Amino acid sequence: MVYPIELSNEELALKAIQMRRDIVEMTCSAGSGHPGGSLSSVEILVTLYNTVLKHDPDNVKWEDRDRMIFCKCHITPAIYSILARTGYFSPEDLMTFRKLGSDLQGHPSRFHPRGIEMSGGSLGQNLSVATGVALGLKHQKKLNRVFALSSEGDLQEGQSWEAVMSAAHFKLGNLCLFVDYNKLQIDGYVEDVMGIHPLDEKFKAFNWNVQVIDGHKFDEIRDAIKNAIAFEGGPSVIIANTIKGKGISFMENEAGWHGKAPCGEDMEKAIEELKHEESLLTTK
Protein backbone atom coordinates (compact mmCIF):
# COMPACT_ATOMS: atom_id res chain seq x y z
CA MET A 1 0.00 0.00 0.00
CA VAL A 2 1.21 3.46 -0.85
CA TYR A 3 0.88 6.18 1.77
CA PRO A 4 -0.38 8.80 2.60
CA ILE A 5 -4.01 7.76 2.97
CA GLU A 6 -7.07 9.64 4.18
CA LEU A 7 -8.17 8.78 7.71
CA SER A 8 -10.67 10.34 10.11
CA ASN A 9 -9.63 11.40 13.59
CA GLU A 10 -11.55 8.41 14.99
CA GLU A 11 -9.65 6.03 12.74
CA LEU A 12 -6.38 7.62 13.79
CA ALA A 13 -7.39 7.36 17.45
CA LEU A 14 -8.00 3.63 17.08
CA LYS A 15 -4.60 3.20 15.48
CA ALA A 16 -3.09 5.17 18.36
CA ILE A 17 -4.64 2.77 20.86
CA GLN A 18 -3.24 -0.19 18.92
CA MET A 19 0.21 1.43 19.07
CA ARG A 20 -0.06 1.99 22.80
CA ARG A 21 -0.94 -1.69 23.27
CA ASP A 22 2.10 -2.66 21.21
CA ILE A 23 4.32 -0.37 23.27
CA VAL A 24 3.13 -1.81 26.57
CA GLU A 25 3.30 -5.42 25.39
CA MET A 26 6.69 -5.07 23.70
CA THR A 27 8.41 -3.47 26.66
CA CYS A 28 6.84 -5.98 29.03
CA SER A 29 7.90 -8.89 26.82
CA ALA A 30 11.43 -7.49 26.62
CA GLY A 31 11.54 -6.65 30.32
CA SER A 32 13.10 -3.31 29.35
CA GLY A 33 12.77 -0.44 26.90
CA HIS A 34 11.40 3.09 26.90
CA PRO A 35 7.62 3.24 27.18
CA GLY A 36 7.24 6.81 28.51
CA GLY A 37 8.60 8.72 25.52
CA SER A 38 7.14 6.16 23.14
CA LEU A 39 3.63 6.81 24.47
CA SER A 40 4.05 10.59 24.20
CA SER A 41 4.91 10.41 20.48
CA VAL A 42 2.06 8.14 19.37
CA GLU A 43 -0.29 10.73 17.83
CA ILE A 44 2.56 12.39 15.95
CA LEU A 45 3.72 9.09 14.44
CA VAL A 46 0.24 7.80 13.66
CA THR A 47 -0.53 11.02 11.80
CA LEU A 48 2.78 11.16 9.95
CA TYR A 49 2.98 7.54 8.80
CA ASN A 50 -0.66 7.29 7.75
CA THR A 51 -1.68 10.67 6.44
CA VAL A 52 1.45 12.69 5.66
CA LEU A 53 4.55 10.74 4.66
CA LYS A 54 4.83 9.55 1.09
CA HIS A 55 6.07 5.99 1.52
CA ASP A 56 5.53 2.45 0.37
CA PRO A 57 6.28 -0.38 2.80
CA ASP A 58 6.55 -2.75 -0.18
CA ASN A 59 9.21 -0.59 -1.80
CA VAL A 60 11.50 0.74 0.92
CA LYS A 61 14.01 2.17 -1.57
CA TRP A 62 11.37 4.13 -3.49
CA GLU A 63 13.21 7.20 -4.79
CA ASP A 64 10.28 9.54 -4.21
CA ARG A 65 9.64 8.55 -0.60
CA ASP A 66 9.72 11.13 2.12
CA ARG A 67 12.39 10.52 4.73
CA MET A 68 11.62 10.06 8.39
CA ILE A 69 14.67 10.41 10.63
CA PHE A 70 14.39 9.64 14.33
CA CYS A 71 16.52 11.71 16.66
CA LYS A 72 14.98 10.20 19.80
CA CYS A 73 15.82 6.65 18.83
CA HIS A 74 15.18 5.13 22.24
CA ILE A 75 11.45 5.11 21.42
CA THR A 76 11.88 1.94 19.41
CA PRO A 77 8.64 0.47 20.84
CA ALA A 78 6.77 3.28 19.06
CA ILE A 79 8.98 3.18 15.95
CA TYR A 80 8.68 -0.59 15.46
CA SER A 81 4.97 -0.53 16.18
CA ILE A 82 4.19 2.11 13.55
CA LEU A 83 6.41 0.33 11.02
CA ALA A 84 4.73 -3.03 11.67
CA ARG A 85 1.24 -1.52 11.66
CA THR A 86 1.83 0.23 8.33
CA GLY A 87 3.07 -2.99 6.76
CA TYR A 88 6.87 -3.00 6.89
CA PHE A 89 6.95 -6.31 8.76
CA SER A 90 4.66 -8.65 10.64
CA PRO A 91 3.31 -7.33 13.96
CA GLU A 92 4.05 -10.82 15.31
CA ASP A 93 7.74 -9.93 15.21
CA LEU A 94 7.20 -7.11 17.70
CA MET A 95 7.53 -9.53 20.59
CA THR A 96 11.14 -10.30 19.61
CA PHE A 97 12.04 -6.73 20.62
CA ARG A 98 15.43 -6.46 22.38
CA LYS A 99 16.02 -10.22 22.25
CA LEU A 100 19.16 -11.94 21.00
CA GLY A 101 19.19 -12.28 17.23
CA SER A 102 16.16 -10.06 16.72
CA ASP A 103 15.91 -7.46 13.96
CA LEU A 104 14.32 -5.24 16.57
CA GLN A 105 17.38 -3.92 18.41
CA GLY A 106 17.00 -1.84 21.56
CA HIS A 107 18.02 1.13 19.46
CA PRO A 108 17.45 0.88 15.72
CA SER A 109 19.93 -0.25 13.11
CA ARG A 110 19.70 1.20 9.62
CA PHE A 111 19.69 -2.32 8.19
CA HIS A 112 16.74 -3.82 10.01
CA PRO A 113 13.86 -3.97 10.32
CA ARG A 114 12.66 -2.66 6.96
CA GLY A 115 11.68 0.97 6.98
CA ILE A 116 14.43 2.40 9.20
CA GLU A 117 16.27 5.18 7.35
CA MET A 118 19.06 5.73 9.87
CA SER A 119 20.58 3.99 12.85
CA GLY A 120 20.56 5.90 16.08
CA GLY A 121 20.53 5.90 19.82
CA SER A 122 23.23 8.35 20.75
CA LEU A 123 21.33 11.58 21.23
CA GLY A 124 22.23 14.77 19.41
CA GLN A 125 23.45 13.13 16.23
CA ASN A 126 20.46 12.54 14.04
CA LEU A 127 19.17 16.08 13.66
CA SER A 128 22.49 16.63 11.89
CA VAL A 129 21.79 13.55 9.78
CA ALA A 130 18.30 14.86 8.93
CA THR A 131 19.93 18.16 7.98
CA GLY A 132 22.36 16.32 5.71
CA VAL A 133 19.56 14.32 4.09
CA ALA A 134 17.54 17.50 3.48
CA LEU A 135 20.64 19.25 2.13
CA GLY A 136 21.44 16.32 -0.18
CA LEU A 137 17.89 16.18 -1.55
CA LYS A 138 17.81 19.94 -2.06
CA HIS A 139 21.23 19.85 -3.74
CA GLN A 140 19.94 17.22 -6.16
CA LYS A 141 16.74 19.24 -6.72
CA LYS A 142 14.56 16.44 -5.41
CA LEU A 143 11.15 17.17 -3.97
CA ASN A 144 11.09 14.57 -1.17
CA ARG A 145 10.41 16.01 2.26
CA VAL A 146 12.37 15.19 5.39
CA PHE A 147 10.66 14.80 8.75
CA ALA A 148 12.50 14.33 12.00
CA LEU A 149 11.38 13.56 15.53
CA SER A 150 13.41 14.98 18.38
CA SER A 151 12.77 15.62 22.05
CA GLU A 152 13.89 18.20 24.54
CA GLY A 153 16.36 15.64 25.89
CA ASP A 154 17.87 15.31 22.42
CA LEU A 155 18.03 19.09 22.27
CA GLN A 156 20.11 19.23 25.44
CA GLU A 157 22.96 17.89 23.33
CA GLY A 158 25.08 20.76 21.99
CA GLN A 159 25.35 19.13 18.59
CA SER A 160 21.60 19.48 18.08
CA TRP A 161 22.08 23.25 18.03
CA GLU A 162 24.90 22.97 15.53
CA ALA A 163 22.35 21.21 13.35
CA VAL A 164 19.65 23.79 14.09
CA MET A 165 22.07 26.56 13.06
CA SER A 166 23.11 24.82 9.86
CA ALA A 167 19.60 23.79 8.73
CA ALA A 168 18.57 27.45 8.85
CA HIS A 169 21.83 28.57 7.21
CA PHE A 170 21.25 26.17 4.32
CA LYS A 171 17.59 27.32 4.11
CA LEU A 172 16.23 23.79 4.21
CA GLY A 173 12.57 24.39 3.50
CA ASN A 174 12.19 20.64 2.92
CA LEU A 175 12.92 19.86 6.59
CA CYS A 176 10.22 19.64 9.26
CA LEU A 177 11.20 18.78 12.82
CA PHE A 178 8.82 17.59 15.51
CA VAL A 179 9.86 18.05 19.12
CA ASP A 180 8.05 15.61 21.39
CA TYR A 181 8.14 18.01 24.32
CA ASN A 182 7.04 15.92 27.30
CA LYS A 183 9.03 17.86 29.94
CA LEU A 184 10.52 14.78 31.60
CA GLN A 185 13.80 12.98 31.32
CA ILE A 186 15.41 10.04 33.14
CA ASP A 187 16.54 12.02 36.15
CA GLY A 188 13.31 14.00 36.55
CA TYR A 189 11.73 17.20 35.28
CA VAL A 190 13.66 18.77 32.42
CA GLU A 191 13.49 22.17 34.07
CA ASP A 192 15.10 20.68 37.21
CA VAL A 193 17.75 18.65 35.40
CA MET A 194 18.77 21.20 32.77
CA GLY A 195 16.20 23.77 31.79
CA ILE A 196 15.58 24.31 28.08
CA HIS A 197 12.65 26.74 28.30
CA PRO A 198 11.76 28.79 26.23
CA LEU A 199 12.18 26.33 23.37
CA ASP A 200 10.09 28.26 20.85
CA GLU A 201 12.12 31.43 21.36
CA LYS A 202 15.34 29.49 20.90
CA PHE A 203 14.24 28.14 17.52
CA LYS A 204 12.95 31.58 16.49
CA ALA A 205 16.33 33.08 17.33
CA PHE A 206 17.91 30.48 15.04
CA ASN A 207 15.58 31.62 12.19
CA TRP A 208 13.30 28.59 12.13
CA ASN A 209 9.59 28.66 11.32
CA VAL A 210 8.11 27.79 14.72
CA GLN A 211 4.71 26.39 15.73
CA VAL A 212 3.63 25.21 19.17
CA ILE A 213 0.80 22.68 19.37
CA ASP A 214 -0.87 20.06 21.53
CA GLY A 215 0.93 16.92 20.38
CA HIS A 216 -1.99 14.64 21.20
CA LYS A 217 -4.59 16.46 19.03
CA PHE A 218 -4.78 15.16 15.48
CA ASP A 219 -6.23 18.37 14.03
CA GLU A 220 -3.44 20.47 15.48
CA ILE A 221 -0.79 18.05 14.22
CA ARG A 222 -2.29 18.02 10.71
CA ASP A 223 -2.65 21.80 10.53
CA ALA A 224 0.86 22.38 11.77
CA ILE A 225 2.29 20.03 9.15
CA LYS A 226 0.33 21.84 6.41
CA ASN A 227 1.75 25.15 7.58
CA ALA A 228 5.25 23.74 7.77
CA ILE A 229 5.05 22.36 4.24
CA ALA A 230 3.73 25.69 2.96
CA PHE A 231 6.72 27.49 4.45
CA GLU A 232 9.53 27.18 1.93
CA GLY A 233 12.04 29.73 3.17
CA GLY A 234 13.74 27.49 5.71
CA PRO A 235 13.27 24.68 8.20
CA SER A 236 10.15 24.35 10.31
CA VAL A 237 9.81 23.07 13.83
CA ILE A 238 6.61 21.87 15.43
CA ILE A 239 7.00 21.93 19.19
CA ALA A 240 4.43 19.40 20.34
CA ASN A 241 3.49 19.71 23.97
CA THR A 242 2.95 16.14 25.07
CA ILE A 243 2.51 14.02 28.15
CA LYS A 244 5.10 11.41 28.94
CA GLY A 245 3.38 8.04 29.37
CA LYS A 246 0.24 9.42 27.65
CA GLY A 247 -2.75 7.10 27.56
CA ILE A 248 -1.94 4.94 30.60
CA SER A 249 -3.19 6.78 33.69
CA PHE A 250 -0.55 5.62 36.15
CA MET A 251 2.33 6.21 33.71
CA GLU A 252 1.41 9.75 32.74
CA ASN A 253 3.89 12.43 33.80
CA GLU A 254 6.01 9.96 35.73
CA ALA A 255 9.74 10.11 34.97
CA GLY A 256 10.09 6.61 36.43
CA TRP A 257 8.45 5.16 33.32
CA HIS A 258 11.08 6.60 30.99
CA GLY A 259 13.04 3.38 30.80
CA LYS A 260 11.06 0.82 32.78
CA ALA A 261 8.75 -1.85 31.40
CA PRO A 262 5.22 -2.20 32.76
CA CYS A 263 4.77 -5.85 33.73
CA GLY A 264 2.43 -8.14 35.62
CA GLU A 265 -0.41 -6.21 37.19
CA ASP A 266 0.83 -2.97 35.67
CA MET A 267 0.54 -4.38 32.21
CA GLU A 268 -2.89 -5.86 32.85
CA LYS A 269 -4.10 -2.54 34.14
CA ALA A 270 -2.63 -0.70 31.18
CA ILE A 271 -4.23 -3.05 28.64
CA GLU A 272 -7.56 -2.77 30.46
CA GLU A 273 -7.43 1.01 30.21
CA LEU A 274 -6.64 0.85 26.51
CA LYS A 275 -9.46 -1.63 25.87
CA HIS A 276 -11.81 0.67 27.66
CA GLU A 277 -10.67 3.61 25.49
CA GLU A 278 -11.18 1.48 22.42
CA SER A 279 -14.72 0.50 23.42
CA LEU A 280 -15.60 4.15 23.98
CA LEU A 281 -14.49 4.92 20.43
CA THR A 282 -16.09 1.93 18.72
CA THR A 283 -19.45 2.19 20.44
CA LYS A 284 -19.81 5.86 19.62
Partner 1 sequence: MSEREMMLTRKGFADALIEIGEQDEKLVVLDADLSKSTLTSLFKERFPDRHFNVGIAEQNLINVAGGLSLTGLTPFVSTYGVFLAGRAWEQIRTSVCYGKLNVKFGGAHGGISVGPDGATHQALEEIAIMRVIPEMKICVPADYYETKKAVKASMEIDGPVYIRFGREKVPVVTSEDHDFEFGKAYKLKEGKDVSVIACGTMVSEALDAAEALKSEGVDVEVVNLHTIKPIDADTIVETARKTGCIVTAEEHQKNGGMGSAVMEVLAQNYPVPVEMVGINDTFGESGSPSELMEKYGITSKNIIEMVKKVLTRKKS
CA 188, CA 75: separation in Å to the nearest integer? 18
Helix (H, G, I), strand (E, B) or coil at 20: helix
Range 135-154, binding partner 1 (CB under 8 A): 135-137, 139-140, 142
Query: Is 121 among the residues that bind partner 1 (CB under 8 A)?
Result: yes
Minimum distance from CB of 4 to partner 1 (Å)?
21
Q: Kindly tell me which residue out of 129, 210, 212, 248 binds partner 1, with binding defined by CB under 8 A.
A: 129
Query: Is 207 among the residues that bind partner 1 (CB under 8 A)?
Result: no
Query: Which residues, other chains included, contact 189 with Cβ-Cβ below 8 Å and sequence gap of 6+?
Result: 183, 255
Q: Kindly tell me which residue out of 12, 53, 94, 134 binds partner 1, with binding defined by CB under 8 A.
A: 134
Query: Is 67 among the residues that bind partner 1 (CB under 8 A)?
Result: yes
Minimum distance from CB of 75 to partner 1 (Å)?
17
| Chain centroid to CA 80 | 11
Q: Output b/e per residue, 98-118; b: 16+ Cβ within 10 A.
A: beeebbbbbbbeeeebebbbb
What does residue 147 show for φ and ψ, rounded to 5 degrees?
-115, 145
Helix (H) or strand (E) holding 214: strand 209-214
Among the residue ranges 38-46, 88-96, 133-141, 256-264, the one whose residues contact partner 1 (CB under 8 A):
133-141
DSSP 8-state assignment for residue 29: H
* Closer by beta carbon to partner 1, 144 or else 211: 144
DSSP 8-state assignment for residue 4: P
What does residue 19 show for φ and ψ, rounded to 5 degrees?
-65, -40
Query: Is 163 among the residues that bind partner 1 (CB under 8 A)?
Result: yes
Minimum distance from CB of 13 to partner 1 (Å)?
33
Minimum distance from CB of 191 to partner 1 (Å)?
25
**257 vs 95, 96, 262, CA distance in Å?**
19, 21, 8
Q: Kindly tell me which residue out of 159, 207, 227, 253 binds partner 1, with binding defined by CB under 8 A.
A: 159
Among the residue ranges 50-58, 127-135, 196-204, 235-243, the one whose residues contact partner 1 (CB under 8 A):
127-135
Beta bridge partners of 188: 185
Alpha helices in the chain (DSSP H): 9-30, 35-40, 42-47, 76-85, 126-139, 158-169, 190-194, 199-205, 218-230, 265-282
Q: Kindly tell me which residue out of 36, 57, 115, 120 binds partner 1, with binding defined by CB under 8 A.
A: 120
Minimum distance from CB of 68 to partner 1 (Å)?
12
Interface with partner 1: number of residues (CB under 8 A): 35
Binding residues for partner 1 (CB under 8 A): 67, 69, 109-111, 117-122, 124-126, 128-137, 139-140, 142, 158-159, 162-163, 165-166, 169-170
